[in-house]
């Protein structure tokens, strides 16, 4: 684990990715994302694996989507650094009570391409760290005629999944999304993929067609969420699906009989099992308990990265199936909302170990599916 003593700033996040690529040229490849952020920042990801992607199954890990969730970047940078160092030295990994031997590390990087994109939203993170700690969106000023609060788009509402929420969802559904540019937190943008940051994530999924798993790292609530987020899951009636306009105006209500989102039984079982594996690996570190559950059981959403990633193969059968997840690390600090999203560094270091152990166990389990 790199010896930083505080949260990385945006320059340090990117420098860490570039340095890892330079330090381990046989085990990693630097990936330059095609679009700069709204404020002109070039973004990088890191492909980790013993051989370049070329038919191997791939897991894509993203973080730093919501600006105020600082530790997500550190989780992914430390994971990449730990895997690279352990493989290079022929050692195992230890996170508190969680142990992975050298053979497991080798099997992970020999069997998978792990693509780590730790900072999707650099402009938002910079603003959160220097001006407004609770800032969540990017810094797009295109719709900011109403003042400072009207700057920005919520990147994790800007993906192409049930974007027209006013039509798709029941009027009584409680959604954390807004079509008001002056919504401080959850403005979805004018149309899907209106933001370069969102398009960069889509580009990664397109560029790595072997992607079978996608994990977006967020905070907080100590959960491991899997698809779907728009409604409860069901595996009985395939007509009840996000593409069927017959169900417009019915989605998003818990415990009703009007609608539930279809998912093949095997997909849900596999997603739940992988979510459980993540939680089990995390628990081994220091007995923290995270909950595996569908995204909807946290709250109803649309336009999110995980639902988009899984829905791609349904919309376009030329694309591979991607089981998608969202980690919500950490827990509420009743004394401080800001501390809930960026805990004191001493606690964040413990959370990093928790989540990285969970991700290693998740990847090892994914290899067997």
| 176 located within any domain | yes
Residue 223 has pLDDT above 90, yes or no: yes
* CATH number where 59 lies: 3.40.630.10
User: 344: domain range?
Assistant: 10-367
Q: How confident is the model at residue 50 (pLDDT cuts 50, 70, 90)?
A: confident
| 47 located within any domain | yes
Residue 112 has pLDDT above 80, yes or no: yes
- Which backbone phi and psi does 206 adopt, to 5 degrees? -70, -35
Q: How confident is the model at residue 4 (pLDDT cuts 50, 70, 90)?
A: low
Torsion of CA 140, 331, 275, 210, to 10 degrees: 30
| 4 located within any domain | no
The string of pLDDT tens digits covering residues 240-298 is 999 999 999 999 999 999 999 999 999 999 999 999 999 999 999 999 999 999 999 99
| 3 located within any domain | no
* Nearest Cα to Cα of residue 136 among 176, 186, 182: 186
Which H helix or E strand runs over 155? none
Angle at 80 between CA 52 and CA 356, to 5 degrees: 130
| 354 located within any domain | yes
Least confident of 87-91, 96-100, 140-144, 218-222: 140-144
Mean pLDDT of the chain: 95
| 320 located within any domain | yes
| CA dist., res. 51 & res. 67, Å (int) | 33
| 188 located within any domain | yes
Percent of the chain topping pLDDT 70: 98
Residue 1 has pLDDT above 80, yes or no: no
| CA dist., res. 135 & res. 55, Å (int) | 39
- Contact (CB, 8 A) for 93 and 77: no
Q: How confident is the model at residue 174 (pLDDT cuts 50, 70, 90)?
A: very high
| 5 located within any domain | no
Q: Residue 5's pLDDT is what?
A: 61
Domain count, the chain: 1
Q: Residues 64-83: what's their mean pLDDT?
A: 98
In 182-287, where do the E strands start and end? 211-219, 223-226, 233-234, 261-262
Q: How confident is the model at residue 90 (pLDDT cuts 50, 70, 90)?
A: very high
pTM: 0.97
Q: Which residue has the tokens 């029941």?
A: 170
């Amino acid at each position: 684990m790199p010896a930083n003593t505080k949260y990385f700033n945006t320059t340090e996040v990117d420098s860490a990715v570039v340095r890892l690529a330079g330090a381990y040229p046989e085990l990693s490849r630097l990936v330059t994302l095609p679009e700069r952020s709204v404020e002109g920042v070039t973004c990088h990801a890191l492909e980790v694996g013993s051989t370049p992607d070329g038919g191997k199954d791939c897991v894509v890990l993203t973080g730093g989507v919501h600006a105020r969730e600082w530790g997500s970047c550190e989780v992914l940078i430390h994971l990449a650094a730990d895997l690279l160092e352990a493989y290079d030295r022929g050692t195992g990994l230890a996170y508190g009570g969680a142990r992975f031997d050298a053979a497991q590390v080798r099997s992970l990087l020999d069997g998978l391409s792990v693509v780590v994109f730790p900072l999707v939203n650099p402009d938002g993170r910079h603003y959160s760290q220097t001006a407004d700690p609770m800032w969540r969106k990017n810094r797009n000023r295109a719709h900011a005629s109403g003042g400072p609060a009207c700057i920005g788009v919520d990147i994790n509402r800007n993906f192409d999944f049930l974007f027209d929420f006013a039509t798709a969802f029941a009027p009584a559904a409680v959604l954390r999304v807004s079509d008001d540019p002056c919504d401080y937190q959850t403005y979805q943008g004018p149309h899907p993929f209106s933001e370069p940051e969102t398009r960069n994530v889509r580009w990664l999924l397109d560029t790595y067609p072997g992607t079978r798993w996608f994990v977006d790292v967020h905070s907080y609530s100590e959960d491991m969420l899997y698809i779907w987020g728009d409604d409860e899951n069901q595996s009985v009636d395939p007509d009840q699906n996000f593409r069927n306009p017959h169900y417009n105006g019915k989605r998003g209500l818990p415990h009703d009989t009007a609608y539930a989102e279809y998912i093949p039984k095997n997909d849900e079982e596999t997603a739940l099992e992988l979510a459980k594996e993540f939680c089990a690996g995390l628990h081994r570190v220091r007995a923290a308990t995270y909950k595996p559950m569908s995204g909807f059981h946290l709250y109803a959403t649309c336009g999110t990265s995980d639902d988009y990633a899984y829905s791609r193969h349904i919309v376009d059968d030329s694309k591979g199936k991607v089981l998608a997840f969202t980690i919500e690390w950490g827990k509420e600090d009743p004394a401080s909302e800001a501390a809930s999203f960026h805990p004191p560094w001493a606690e964040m270091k413990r959370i990093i170990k928790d989540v990285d152990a969970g991700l290693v166990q998740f990847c090892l389990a994914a290899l067997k599916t």
